[in-house]
Chain A
Amino acid sequence: MKLVAKYTLALVGTLVVVLSIGAYFRLGFTREQIEDDLRRSHSQVAAVLEDSIDDLWVDAPRDEALRLTNELIAKANADVGASLFRWEPDGGTHARQAIEAGELVSHFPVEANGKIYGAIVARESLDQINAHMRTQLLFTIGGIVLIVAIGAFASVVLGAWLVRTPITLLVAQARRIGRGELANSVAFGSRDELGELAVEMSAASKALAESQAKSERETAARLSAVEQMRHADRLSTVGKLAAGVAHELGTPLSIVGGHAQMIAEGEVKGEAAIASARAIDAEATRMGKIVRQLLDFARRKGPEGVTCEPNAVVERSVQLLGVMADRAKVKTELKLAIPASRVEIDEDSLQQIVTNLAVNAIQAMPSGGTLTVSVERIDKLVRIAVRDTGPGIPADVREHIFEPFFTTKAVGDGTGLGLAVVHGIITDHGGRISVDTGPTGTTFSMDLQEASA
């Protein structure tokens, strides 16, 4: 059952009970008053009659007294317009009034000189009073019914206004919260309990929305932290380096250990043992090379404040690779900056960078091509670019090219440290390296600070 209906029913019940009790006492009181009036009027008439009668019975003879008494009573009856009063010679010795069989019976003994001569008796039917009381009762019931009906109507109307409308709004809001729609709030201006509930509900959904937003932000932050970690992991971190070192050294160490074990246990002998020893030597050399490059990678920062002239260094580096380029049918071109300037990097580091990039470029053109190394001045920067005419770097490889130990070359051809070393040296000298690659070739461009002097 709806709240308003319950509330109305309770109100109707209370009204009926309270009004009925009130009506019961009021009607009872009214009836008592009417009866009292009746008794009083009996007494008053009887008292007047008594005054005249008692002397008669003392002074006059009995017959005369009786005749005069009846005459006086008849006169009194005529005055009240009904034959209420009678003379009863043996009407009792005590004055009393009582209701007997639907009528009020009053006895008033007449006494003189200590002798009771008879009694004035009044009998009056209560039918009229009863009829009056029934009418009163009907009116009262009608009144109660009317009041209760008005009360019920008011309760329903006010209930709809004060209770059902706000509750409908609150229920709708609760359902919205349930569906996760937290942006809406509910307000209807009233300061009662429902108004308070609405305010609390709005506050709760706001808090919920905030905590949801917060947890979303936290999740996003966590995700981006994880992304950053992954990113960091992918780039040249200690972990990546360690994995690379482990992998690079794991294989040659396996070979060295394996051959040694087989020689020691006599499983290989003679020529085979010599071959095993050569393999051990080759792997030891390879491991030495890895260690050296690791040292380059770690100690890539050159001496502080040293500068060099890039034209000369680039020219010398390319000349040193002349034989390798010829063998690979690669033509070399040099474009040097005019006039010459100085850059903030030591000669050895710059030569290592140019050599690493040029070797990569030559290897990227297995069927020949052109290697172009250029030096040019752009504002306060010196740009050194190494360009090949090879097939370009695939996108998935390009992401990783500056990571240590990342290589696309066959086992033994490269350690995967070349570009990582280049990247490290350039950034350590305050420069920038970028790569531009496409199907017609790849260009590595490095911008280094021009020395001020």
Chain B
Amino acid sequence: MVPLIVLAEDHPELRSLLASALEIIGYHVVPVGTGAHLLGAVTRLRGEGRAPTLVISDVRMPTLGGIDAARTLRATGDRVPLILMTAYGDAWTRREAASVDATLLDKPVRISALRDAVARALLDSAA
């Protein structure tokens, strides 16, 4: 089964770039623009019986950020693997990422680094 990835990034250009970079190597990607849309997409997909295999999210987004969205996901008992991306990975961000059991990627994010992180997260969750 093809892994299904929900990708949240507020910058449209970067969002489409990352989505296509992941689609080119064979993943299905559902791109969204905010943390709220991220939660909506996860709920909708679960309702359709297609729970996402992985969630990737930017940390700093308008209204609902990636950390808050991840906390909400975890609070509903969702154990889906998480990758968070941040341009400013200070101690607070690292601690919060660890507390929601997420992999933290620093921006500028390299396509190869993102693909590696995705592959590792999928392997870990399969094990």
Contacts and interface: CB of A to CB of B under 8 A. Distances in A.
A254 B88 contact: no
Interface string A112-144: 000000000000000000000000000000000
Contact of A246 (B12, B14, B88, B109): B88
Given A262-B21, A279-B13, A279-B17, A247 B87 contact: yes
Nearest to B110: A257
Contact of B110 (A258, A268, A279, A412): A258
B14 A254 contact: yes
B106 to A, nearest CB: 8
B47 interface: no
A50 to B, nearest CB: 126
Given A262-B21, A279-B17, A411-B11, A251 B87 contact: yes
A254 B21 CA distance: 12
Given A255-B14, A411-B12, A261 B87 contact: no
Contacts of A243: 87-88, 90
Interface residues of A, number: 24
B98 interface: no
Interface in B85-127: 86-88, 90, 107-112
A251 B14 contact: yes
Given A258-B14, A411-B11, A250 B108 contact: yes
A411 B111 CA distance: 21
A259 interface: yes
A381 interface: no
A267 interface: yes
B60 A259 contact: no
A411 B18 contact: no
Contacts of B90: 243
A247 B111 contact: no
B112 A254 contact: no
Contacts of A247: 60, 87-88, 107
B107 A261 contact: no
Contact of A261 (B13, B14, B112): B112
* Interface class of chain A by DSSP: helix
Interface residues of B, number: 21
A253 interface: yes
A258 B21 contact: yes
A249 interface: yes
A411 B10 contact: yes
A283 interface: yes
Contact of B107 (A242, A250, A279): A250
Contacts of B2: none
Interface string B10-35: 11111001101100100000000000
Contacts of A268: 20
Nearest to B17: A258
B13 A283 contact: yes
A18 B13 CA distance: 109
Contacts of A254: 14, 17-18, 107-110
B61 to A, nearest CB: 10
* Residue of A258, A261, A262, A283 contacting most chain B CB atoms (<10 Å): A258
Interface in B52-104: 60, 86-88, 90
Interface in A220-266: 242-243, 246-251, 253-259, 261-262
A267 B13 CA distance: 17
Contacts of B14: 251, 254-255, 258
A76 B112 CA distance: 150
A282 B111 CA distance: 19
Contacts of B108: 249-251, 253-254, 256-257
Contact of A267 (B11, B24, B107): B24
A257 B111 contact: yes
B18 A251 contact: no
Nearest to A251: B11
A291 B39 CA distance: 35
B122 to A, nearest CB: 20
Contacts of B11: 251, 255, 411-412
Interface in A303-358: none
Interface of B: 10-14, 17-18, 20-21, 24, 60, 86-88, 90, 107-112
Interface of A: 242-243, 246-251, 253-259, 261-262, 267-268, 279, 282-283, 411-412
26 contacts: A242-B88, A243-B87, A243-B90, A246-B87, A246-B88, A246-B107, A247-B87, A247-B107, A248-B87, A249-B87, A250-B88, A251-B11, A251-B107, A254-B14, A254-B17, A254-B18, A254-B107, A255-B13, A256-B108, A258-B111, A259-B17, A261-B110, A261-B112, A262-B111, A268-B20, A412-B11
